[in-house]
Every structure is written in C-alpha cells, then in structure tokens.
Amino acid sequence: MAIVLVALGSNRCHGRHGRPDGVVRAALAALAELGGIVRASPIIATAPIGPGTRRYANAVVALDWAGSLPALLRALKAIERDFGRRAGRRWGDRVLDLDIVGASDTVLNAPGLAVPHPRLAERRFVLDPLVTVAPDWRHPRLRRTARQLHARALRPKGLPRT
C-alpha cells in the first residue's frame, strides 16, 4: 500500500450534490470506496484561476492505495464522469476535478500522468489543504516538505529569502 495525495476541486453545482462544497463532500465519499482515506483536509473556498468565473471548493486527501497510479487515474476519471464532468477548456468551470498530486517519494512521467503534479508548488489552492493533510510529505523533485512549499507560496513575490 502507498499513500497517494489526491486534490479535489469543484466550482459548479450538481443536481444531486448541490453547491461545490457538497460536490467535494460527495467525491470524498466516492474516494473512500476506492481505498482507505487516511486523512482529509477541510474544504476551503478559493478564487478561480484562468477563465473560470466561479469560486472553487478545494480539498486534499491522503488515500491508502494498493494499485498502480495509472489505475488510480482511471478510477478518478471514472468518478469525474459519474459526477457529470465533460471534456472542456483548460481551467474552465467544472463540476469535479480530481488530480493525483503526489505519491510517497514516487516520480512518474507517463502519458497523461505526471507525479508529483508539475505545478503543485505554485498552487495555493492545493498547498493550503495539503499542508493540513501531509505537512511532512517531501516533494521528491524539489526536496522540500509540503510545509516548506506552502511557506514559499505564502511569501510575497520579490522579497528576499531570509
């Protein structure tokens, strides 16, 4: 078994699950059926990035996963489809987005799957909940913990490091 970090996001209402925070809660239940959720972050509200216009509900879970990462990705995509996710423009509004952002010390570059997520260190909407779930997880490429990545993301740009 490996601990896999999965980011969840929603900024569109769903007919059955309601507002984005309800969508994320329902997605957490669907993820629990895949493997044991070791820890889940609080659901946080974040501003959209790119052309999206609605605020997001975001969370991160640490999932106990026994299978391969490509198999997990297929399962996550199936959950997204079950929630009504359709292919669309990048960074657009979406009912549910599930991303593998890290998996222990694994580095994987496969078609359609890069672990750790290539833009993880730049994304507060992932780092804010990630630091509550796995503060000591170490990014295998950057060699920094989630706590350190979060602190760097919080630092105003252009200020010197101390």
CA 41 centroid distance within chain: 11
- Are 129 and 60 within 8 A, CB to CB? yes
Pick from 29, 1, 9, 31: nearest CA to 99: 9
Instruction: Report the sign of the C-alpha dihedral through residues 88, 76, 101, 20, in that order.
Output: positive
Q: Tell me the three state secondary structure of residue 125.
A: helix
Q: How far apart are CA 28 and CA 33, in angstroms?
A: 9
Catalytic residues: 85, 94, 97, 99
